[in-house]
Structure 1
Amino acid sequence: MTESSTAADFPIPAAQHQTYQVQPSGATAAVAALFTDDLILEILSRVPARSLHRFKCVSVLWRDLIADPANRNMLPQTLSGFLHTSFCGSAYHHHFARVSGGVAPYDPSLPYLQPNKYKDMTQVDACNGFVLYRGCTKKVAPWYRADEDCRFVVCNPTTGRWVELPPQPQAPAGRHSHIRGLAFDPAVSSSFHVLHFEEAYSSSMIGVSIYSSRTGAWSYRDSGMAEEVELFSRTRCVFVGGVLYLIGFLPGINDDYVLLAVDMMGKVWKTIRVPYPRRFGMIGSSQGCLHYAISSVNEVELWCLKDCDSKEWVLKHTSSIDKLMGMTVKNYRVIGIHPDCDTIFLVPCRGHTLIAYDMQHQEVGCILDLEKNSTQRFLPYVPLFSESLADANGR
Structure 2
Amino acid sequence: MEEDKEESSKKQLRQDNPPATAASLFTDDLILEILSRLPARSVRRFKCVSMPWRDLIADPVNRKKLPQTLAGFLYTTYRSLGAVWSHHFASVSGGAAPVDPSLNFLQPKYKYIAYVDTCNGLLLCACSNKENPAAYGEQVRYVVCNPATERWIELPPQPQAQANRFHCASRLAFDPNVSSHFHVLEFVETYMDVGSCVTGVDIFSSQTGAWIRRDSELVEQITVFDEFRSVRFGGMLHLVGKLNPVNIYNEPALLVVDMEGKEWKTILLPDGSSSYDAIGLSQGCLHYASTTQAHVSNNSKKNAGIATKITLWRLENYDSKEWVLKCSASIDEPSNMPGLKWRVFAIHPDCDTVFLDGGDVLAAYDMQHQKFVRIINFEKGSYQVYLPYVPLFSEVLADADEQ
| Structures share fold, TM-score greater than 0.5 | yes
Structure 1 pair 261–305 and aligned structure 2 pair: CA distance change class (3 A) = same
Q: After superposition, give the CA deviation of every residue in 1:1-44 in whole Å (9 maximum; x if it has no partner).
A: xxxxxxxxxxxxxxxxxxxxxxxx96x935x4553221211111
Report the 3-state secondary structure (helix = DSSP H, G, I; strand = E; otherwise coil) of the residue aligned with 2:47: helix
Q: Which of residues 207, 232, 236 is equivalent to 2:229?
A: 236
What is the deviation of 1:106? 2.1
1:166 corresponds in structure 2 to: 156
What is the deviation of 1:102? 5.1
Report the 3-state secondary structure (helix = DSSP H, G, I; strand = E; otherwise coil) of the residue aligned with 1:227: coil
What is the deviation of 1:171? 2.4
Amino acid aligned to 1:260: L
Q: After superposition, give the CA deviation of every residue in 1:302-334 in whole Å (9 maximum; x if it has no partner).
A: 111123322111111110111547753422111
Structure label with greater radius of gyration: 2
* Residue 308, structure 1, aligned to residue 351, structure 2: no
* Residue 150, structure 1, aligned to residue 140, structure 2: yes
What is the deviation of 1:75? 0.6
Structure 1 pair 354–296 and aligned structure 2 pair: CA distance change class (3 A) = same
Amino acid aligned to 2:366: D
Instruction: Describe how 1:169-188 pairs up with structure 2 within 5 A.
Output: 169-188=159-178
Report the 3-state secondary structure (helix = DSSP H, G, I; strand = E; otherwise coil) of the residue aligned with 1:331: coil
2:110 corresponds in structure 1 to: 118
Q: Which of residues 201, 205, 212 is equivalent to 1:219?
A: 212
Contact 2:119-2:173 at 8 Å conserved across structures = yes
Higher RCO structure (Cα 8 Å, ≥6 apart): 1
* Residue 292, structure 1, aligned to residue 291, structure 2: no
* Residue 107, structure 1, aligned to residue 117, structure 2: no
2:127 corresponds in structure 1 to: 135
Q: After superposition, give the CA deviation of every residue in 1:48-103 in whole Å (9 maximum; x if it has no partner).
A: 11111111223333222211111011011121111111111213322211222556
Moved more, 133-142 or 88-97: 133-142
Amino acid aligned to 1:274: L
1:375 corresponds in structure 2 to: 383
Higher-strand-fraction structure = 2
2:296 corresponds in structure 1 to: none
C-alpha distance in 2 between matches for 1:356 and 1:278: 22
1:13 corresponds in structure 2 to: none
Report the 3-state secondary structure (helix = DSSP H, G, I; strand = E; otherwise coil) of the residue aligned with 1:149: coil
1:266 corresponds in structure 2 to: 261
What is the deviation of 1:352? 1.3
Two-structure CA RMSD over aligned residues (Å):
2.3
1:15 corresponds in structure 2 to: none
TM-score by length of 1: 0.85
Instruction: Describe how 1:1-395 pairs up with structure 2 within 5 A.
Output: 29=21, 32=23, 34-89=25-80, 90-101=83-94, 104-115=97-108, 117-140=109-132, 148-202=138-192, 203-252=196-245, 253-275=248-270, 276-297=272-293, 298=307, 299-322=309-332, 324=334, 327-348=337-358, 351-394=359-402
Contact 1:356-1:365 at 8 Å conserved across structures = yes
C-alpha distance in 1 between matches for 2:317 and 2:133: 41
Structure 1 pair 33–145 and aligned structure 2 pair: CA distance change class (3 A) = farther
Amino acid aligned to 2:198: M
Contact 1:82-1:379 at 8 Å conserved across structures = yes
Identity, in percent, stands at 56
TM-score by length of 2: 0.84
Contact 1:91-1:141 at 8 Å conserved across structures = no
What is the deviation of 1:287? 1.6
Report the 3-state secondary structure (helix = DSSP H, G, I; strand = E; otherwise coil) of the residue aligned with 1:62: helix
C-alpha distance in 1 between matches for 2:315 and 2:58: 34
Show structure 1 runs of 4+ deviating over 4 A.
none
Runs (5+) with no aligned partner, structure 2: 1-17, 294-306
Contact 2:333-2:340 at 8 Å conserved across structures = no
Structure 1 pair 373–385 and aligned structure 2 pair: CA distance change class (3 A) = farther
Q: After superposition, give the CA deviation of every residue in 1:282-304 in whole Å (9 maximum; x if it has no partner).
A: 11222222211111114111111
C-alpha distance in 2 between matches for 1:141 and 1:320: 44
Moved more, 359-368 or 192-201: 359-368
1:9 corresponds in structure 2 to: none
C-alpha distance in 2 between matches for 1:200 and 1:307: 32
Report the 3-state secondary structure (helix = DSSP H, G, I; strand = E; otherwise coil) of the residue aligned with 2:33: helix
Q: After superposition, give the CA deviation of every residue in 1:219-261 in whole Å (9 maximum; x if it has no partner).
A: 1211111111112242222222322111111122221111111
Contact 1:191-1:390 at 8 Å conserved across structures = no
Runs (5+) with no aligned partner, structure 1: 1-24
C-alpha distance in 1 between matches for 2:261 and 2:379: 38
Moved more, 169-178 or 368-377: 368-377
